[in-house]
Amino acid sequence: MAHRPDRRRGRSVCYSYRTMKRRARPSNNYELFTCALKGHELVGVDAATVTEQDAVFAREADGVRWYRCLRCDAWIPTPLPVTPVSDTVPTREQVEIPLRGPALRDRYVLRLIALDRFIHVVVLTGLAIVIFFFLGHRRALQSDYNRIMSAFTGGPGGTNDLHGFLAHFKHWFFVNPAHLYEVGIAALAYGALEATEMVGLWFAKRWAEYLTFIATIVFIPLEVYELAHSITTLKLATFAINLAIALYLLLAKRLFGLRGGHKAVIARRRALGGWAAVEANTVYPAKV
């Protein structure tokens, strides 16, 4: 059991271990994960002196410097610099706050969508390559197919007795080459569109959010039509993912002026990810 002062009533309150454990769960998971990957964002580690004005992100006590990570708010102890590069810690105007708060969370979500688009690009590009390879070697492939299938079925003409997947594969040799060529071009064009979305989302471009939203909702009615005829796990997963992406972009990213639009996004980013947020999460040592 532990006692903690209650500021409202001026008395101690007893907390159980389970309560303290629940209260100790960090709310900055994205920041902690990013710092684990990239390292902490520390300011003034090579400064000769640290003043009280720097207490927001740098402090000194008992010969030890404590630097605050501007991303995850962790305080990191470091020894005093042997050969300082600068006399003082940089001012706030000279420091760029790294992504934190909602802006960092949105960056992870957008990059997750970008990875989804990357999978689309790989599949569509692979499909186009297969189609064009098939068109370029159609006669040789058909001859090899007939010879192999005849060996399986016991002689010439046996391909007419095929069923299932092998029978469906046989029909590709009778499809109009011009139609296959159009399908290949369409796959490449859509793959290029998905690649554009992928790059824009990875770098958190606003235009990519609009492009991805429009390209996603265009196919939702078709997915609903397909689900109305037959329901499969793949169709349901595809529909759920695309619907979630569209709703996230529309509501969380405030597209088309919704919920204040881009101005509200910028204002929220500054309030929860700028110096105001750093100040709000700063705990100053008690003065004796």
pLDDT band at 166 (very low <50, low <70, confident <90, very high): low
Distances, alpha carbon 218 to alpha carbons 115, 162, 215, 221, 224, in Å: 20, 38, 6, 7, 11
Beta-carbon contacts of 272 under 8 Å, excluding residues fewer than 6 positions away, are 101, 102, 103
Highest mean pLDDT range out of 34-38, 56-60, 141-145, 274-278? 34-38
Q: Within 13 Å of residue 20, how many CA atoms lie on the same side as its CB?
A: 9
The pLDDT, as a whole number, for residue 156 is: 56
Average pLDDT over residues 138-158: 66
Q: From CA 134, how far away is CA 140, in angstroms rounded?
A: 9
Tell me which residue of 283, 282, 265, 245 sits closest to 102, measured CA to CA.
265
Quick count: other Cβ atoms within 10 Å of Cβ 154?
9
Task: Quote the pTM value.
Answer: 0.79
Question: Position 59: which residue type?
Answer: R
Q: From CA 35, how far away is CA 73, in angstroms rounded?
A: 10
Q: From CA 164, how far away is CA 152, in angstroms rounded?
A: 14
Interval 82-130: pLDDT, tens: 888 889 888 888 888 999 988 999 999 999 999 999 999 999 999 999 9
Beta-carbon contacts of 208 under 8 Å, excluding residues fewer than 6 positions away, are 196, 197, 199, 200, 201
Question: Position 216: which residue type?
Answer: T
Interval 46-89: pLDDT, tens: 999 888 888 898 998 888 899 999 999 999 998 888 888 889 88
Q: Is the pLDDT of residue 7 over 50?
A: no
Q: What would the two tokens of residue 30 be?
A: 């994205």
Q: From CA 242, how far away is CA 218, in angstroms rounded?
A: 10
**Domain range annotation of the chain:** 16-89, 109-204, 206-274
The pLDDT, as a whole number, for residue 3 is: 44
Residue written as tokens 């770098």? 203
Interval 180-210: pLDDT, tens: 899 999 999 999 999 999 999 999 999 999 9
Q: From CA 179, how far away is CA 156, in angstroms rounded?
A: 29
Tell me which residue of 256, 271, 263 sits closest to 209, measured CA to CA.
256
The pLDDT, as a whole number, for residue 152 is: 64
Tell me which residue of 91, 53, 72, 83 sits closest to 281, measured CA to CA.
72
